[in-house]
Every structure is written in C-alpha cells, then in structure tokens.
Chain A
Amino acid sequence: MTATTLPPGSSRALHRNLPAYAEIVRNRLKVSIAYRQNSLFLLAIVVVQIFILKKVWSALYATQSSVNGVDRHALLVYLTIANIQGWVLQDPTVSRYMYERVRQGLVAFDLVRPSGFIPQMFAQLMGSTLSSMMFVLPALPIIYFAGTLGAPASWSAAGGYAISLVCGYVITMMLTLIIGLIAFWTTEIFGLTMLYRLVSQFFAGALVPLSFFPGGLRILAESLPFQSTVYVPVAIYVGRLSGLEMARAIIVQLAWIAGLSFAAWAMWRRALFRVVVQGG
C-alpha cells in the first residue's frame, strides 16, 4: 500500500472517504427510523409551538393590519418557516452524541479512524438533517393548518433564500461542532447545550423576528451568529430583506462561516492535545 498522506480536510482525502461518510449518513438515518417515536414527538412539539405562536401573534394583529411594517400574513409565514427550519437544521442529538462519545471515552475509536473526527461529525449532522427532512415532508399538511405556509416573496427572494439557507446550515453545523468540542475541556456539556438551545432559539428569531427587537437587544442579536441561522434566510424568504440588504446579510453569513470555521479549527487543534479518554 502506498497511500499518500493528505490532511483529512483536503479534497482528495474527502473524495476517498466519501463512501465512508455516505455510510455514516445512512446509518444515522437508520437510527432515526429505529427511534421514530422520539423524532415524531419532537416534531409534534414544534407543530404545537407554531400553533401557539400563530394564536398569540394573531391576537396582536387583531386591531391593526401591520405591525412594524410587517403584515400579518408575512409574519405568520415567517414564524412557521423559521420554526420548521430551526427544527430540521438543528438537531440537538448530534452535539449530545458528541459529548456522550467524549464522556464515555468512545471518542477513542473516532480518533483512530482514517477519516478524521470532524468530517465524521459533519456526516452525523447531515444524516440527522436528512432524517428530520424525511419526517417534516409528510407533516407539511398538518403544519399548513397549524401555522401558515406561503410562497417566497419573489423569484429573487427564493434564490436568496436557497443561498442563505445553505450558509445558515453551515453556521449551525459549526456552532454545534464548537459546542461539542467544548466537551473535550469540560467533559460535561449538558447544561451548556440546554442554555445554547434556549439562547440560539431566541436570538435566531424563531419566536420573535429580529426586526421586532427593541434597540439594545437588537444590536446584541445582530452581533451574534444565531441570527444568521434562522432569521436571515427566512427574512429573505418573506421579502423582509431584499436587494442590498439581502446581499449584505449573506456577506455577514459568509464572514461568520469563516470566523467560526477558524474557531472550530483552533479548538480542534488544542482538543487533540488534551484528549483525556475517560476510564480504563
């Protein structure tokens, strides 16, 4: 064997390991199907949340047709899509999986694989996203009645949404990875993941759109990466962000991708040198 060595991130290494990553994605899908009750339960929570948000916001809109320059229909579409998207893209089970691996010392096996730890975790994340999509598609009719679904504001909004969604997904993956990597230092991140979910959901604009935030809170929200995961793509979808504003928001997303990738890379370098495999 004369396998030339390549850093695990290089494109040839990626190509060679592609069947392995595909297999990880497949296995992840199988696990989701094996635990489908759990996935359906989580999906039900999201549907209920969408329903409650619709009721609350409709009450607010009862006396006026437009709040803050956003009409009722656009807002309800925003909330529905933001919550579905948040549910599909952000599966808490993967960061939990990562910290379980570290906590039980199973990370030892991930580290002696030829395909690199980080790409393996990305494959896990993609598998979980695919399985979430699988559950959400048949549930769309129910979601339609619980919330409000509507077409993108325009063709450019649809295109912008597609690009922004991909960026938002990469940012979500990076954030999940960083949270998981913290386990190498603390060996326990359960509390942190709970906090992360709460903070990210709020600052991503899944409950209230960012444009409704009051002054100081809005500045804080705009300086955090969470808004790029949900608010930006969905605001583009409903036409709230368009033209130059849309372009600017996508550039900010790209900057977050660069910054978070660097942070994850730096953390990973350090994590490698302080791996403490728990037990035995």
Chain B
Amino acid sequence: MPPAIRVEDLVKEFQRPRQQSGFLGGVRTLFTRQFDVVRAVDGVSFSIDTGELVGYIGPNGAGKSTTIKMMTGILVPTSGAVEVAGITPWRDRERNALQIGVVFGQRSQLWWDLPLIDSFRLVGKLYRVPQARYQRNIDRFVEMLDMQEFLERPVRQLSLGQRMRGDLAASMLYEPRILYLDEPTIGLDVVAKESMRTFIEEMNRESGTTIVLTTHDLADVERLCARIILIDHGRVLYDGAVEQLKAKYAPHRVLVVQLAPEAVCDGRWPTIDDAFLAGAEVAEQADGVARIRFETARTPVHDLIAAVNARYPVADLSIVEPDLEGVVRQIYGDLVPVA
C-alpha cells in the first residue's frame, strides 16, 4: 500500500520586509523594497502510512504549522513535493479537500454567530454527505463528545472546550481519510483534553483515520502516538518510535530508595556509597531518601535493587521513568543555537 502522506525535501521561504529603524523608520519601511528571506521549513522529508497516528512536534516557530499548511494545500511550498493519497494538495484542492479534515486549535471553522448545529449542517452540505450518513455521524459525535447541551447555542457563546469539541466533530463529519490536528488541545482543561483525546484515539482505531497531531502538550503525544517526528529550525531532528527516542535521549532511570528507620545510627542516616553499585550513581540523598541514576542498558534493575538491599535496610523502592517532556526539553536545550 502506498503511504498516505509522502513529504519530500519540502522547503518554504517567506519574505519579510526589513524594518528600518530610527526616526521615520516606519515610513521608510513602507517605501523600501528590502526583504529578509526566512526559511520556515528547510528540507523536510517523511512518509506516513495509512492508519498511523503521528505526533509532529517542535518548539514555537519550528515550522510545524507551516508544514501542516503545505500538507493541507493552503500554502504552496517554495520547493519539494507533498503527496496526500496520491494527490498534490495545492494543485488539486477540491479532491484533496474531500479527503482531509483540519482542526486548528487557535482558530475555529465554526460559524461564529450561528448555533453549532448550523455549522455542522453547512459542513455536511459542503462535503456532500448523504443525509443518512450525516445524521448517523452527528448522533454518534454528539454522544461521544457530550455536545447535546450546547448544540443549539451560538458558537460565540460557547466555552473554549465546547468550541473545540465542536471543531473536532465538524472536521470528522464527512469521514475524511486523513485528519490534521494543529494544537487541538491548546488552552483546554483536563476534562476537555481527555474527551478530545478519547475521540481522536477512537477515530484512529475504529475508522482507520490517518492522523497527524501537532501539539505542545506532550501528554497528548504520550497518550496517543506511537511515532513522533520532531522538528526544529525547519529540519527533522528525529523520526521514529516514542520509546526509542526516550531510550536514545534519556537512557537513565532513577531508582528512589527510602531507607528503613532502623538504618539510623547515632541519630544520622547512613550514606549510600555508589562504589557498590556498578554503573549507577547517587544523584542526591538526604534524610534517608536517595535518588540513584542508572542506565537500564548497562545496569539491570534487579541487580541494582539486590545490591542496595544487601547493604542497607530498605523501606520502599520506586523507579521513575523519564517522561517525554524531559526528553524534549533536553533535545531543545541542546539545540539552542550558540549566539
């Protein structure tokens, strides 16, 4: 089966008028034709298979949204190729439009002044959804996203969480094969986020929708995506499984040891010596609690636990897994360009 989305050497440059500084700088800016060329996307390539749910992440200004806009056909790239189910999106807008759904968390496709249901009806008509199928999807989505209560309310009166649920439902009403979600959970509370995530997960699992998810909330990615594409400064830094990224950038686990009260000797807690612990080091310890950093690849957990147990009375043990956020923070940190 050909990939659902194929992106090759994609480049997008923007021209920005150069701001003139100083007295009357604003006026001079108006009349000068000097431009700065900004490369928002700089040679991005990847391919996504049908039915995948991929997290597309990167810091602000990394080029994520620009890539999404080229994949949806809104922007025309400076160079490179995009194929979505065999179609070049910006050349064949109509056919492309029929097979994709788009949610931009920062803006809404709903009709601001009209009840939510009117926007749904319009979307149904725009995508020529047969009446029976439209009704079936509406019923299903209203129940899944709990929208009954505000279906007849004008969109301008909805809360952000309600509006986003409406936007998400609107983008799936015509059962597109591919769904682009650009920061769909931005600014939402925990409950709304959970309801969005469940919906996205079900669309992917049950309808087989291919989903590209852009987000700053890495909990979204950890919960939903098996694969992530990490970009910064318009380039792909990592493309692969979430687990492998963690293994690569965060090979360390932390074993937290709580010593038993009987270890106290002369009113002081004993010090754990890392000399006994092959390949592990004590990151910090105080008041009988020690955090021992170790690499799973080099030090098996059970060996480490046995070594600690053999020398100290232990009350409690726990292992802290690295979270994606820490990993990404570390990668972004490494990438801060040296001025």
Contact = CB atoms under 8 A, between A and B. Distances in A.
Nearest to B89: A112
A191 B77 CA distance: 31
Contacts, number: 99
Contacts of A105: 104, 106-107
Nearest to B167: A109
Contact of A106 (B75, B76, B93, B107): B107
A208 interface: no
A113 B65 contact: no
Contacts of B75: 275, 277
Contact of A277 (B74, B94, B121): B74
A275 B93 CA distance: 14
Interface stretch (A16-24, A131-139, A143-151, A195-203): A16-24
Interface in A244-280: 272-273, 275-277, 279-280
Contacts of B104: 105, 108-109, 280
Interface in A212-244: none
A19 to B, nearest CB: 5
A30 B114 contact: yes
Contact of B74 (A19, A275, A280): A275
Nearest to B76: A273
Contacts of B102: 108-109, 112
B72 interface: yes
A35 B113 contact: yes
Interface string A11-39: 00100110110111001001100110000
B37 to A, nearest CB: 14
Contact of A24 (B14, B90, B122): B122
Nearest to B186: A280
B43 to A, nearest CB: 21
Interface in A106-149: 106, 108-109, 111-116
A211 to B, nearest CB: 41
A24 B96 CA distance: 21
A225 B107 CA distance: 37
Contact of B107 (A3, A104, A111): A104
Contact of B122 (A20, A108, A272, A273): A20
Nearest to B100: A112
A116 B107 contact: no
B253 to A, nearest CB: 36
B126 A114 contact: yes
B109 interface: yes
A59 interface: no
- Chain A interface residue count: which class? 35 or more
Given A5-B95, A24-B122, A109 B109 contact: yes
Contacts of A24: 122
B325 interface: no
A8 B126 CA distance: 13
B182 A280 contact: yes
B249 interface: no
B73 interface: yes
Contacts of A34: 113-114, 154
A56 interface: no
A194 B125 CA distance: 35
B182 A111 contact: no
Interface string B152-188: 0010000000000000000000000000001100000
A140 to B, nearest CB: 27
B94 to A, nearest CB: 5
B35 to A, nearest CB: 13
Contacts of A113: 97, 126
B183 A114 contact: no
Contact of B125 (A13, A23, A273): A23
A96 to B, nearest CB: 14
B111 interface: yes
B65 A111 contact: no
A112 B97 contact: yes
A1 interface: yes
A272 B94 CA distance: 14
A6 interface: yes
B94 A8 contact: yes
Contact of A279 (B14, B106, B108): B106
B98 interface: yes
A97 to B, nearest CB: 11
Interface of B: 14, 65, 69, 72-76, 90, 92-98, 100, 102, 104, 106-109, 111, 113-114, 118, 121-122, 125-128, 154, 182-183
A-B pairs, 7 with minimum CB distance: A114-B97, A109-B109, A23-B125, A20-B125, A20-B126, A280-B106, A31-B113
7 contacts: A20-B122, A23-B121, A105-B106, A106-B108, A109-B107, A112-B93, A113-B126
Given A5-B92, A31-B114, 12 more contacts: A3-B95, A6-B94, A19-B125, A35-B113, A105-B106, A115-B94, A272-B76, A273-B76, A275-B75, A275-B76, A279-B106, A280-B182
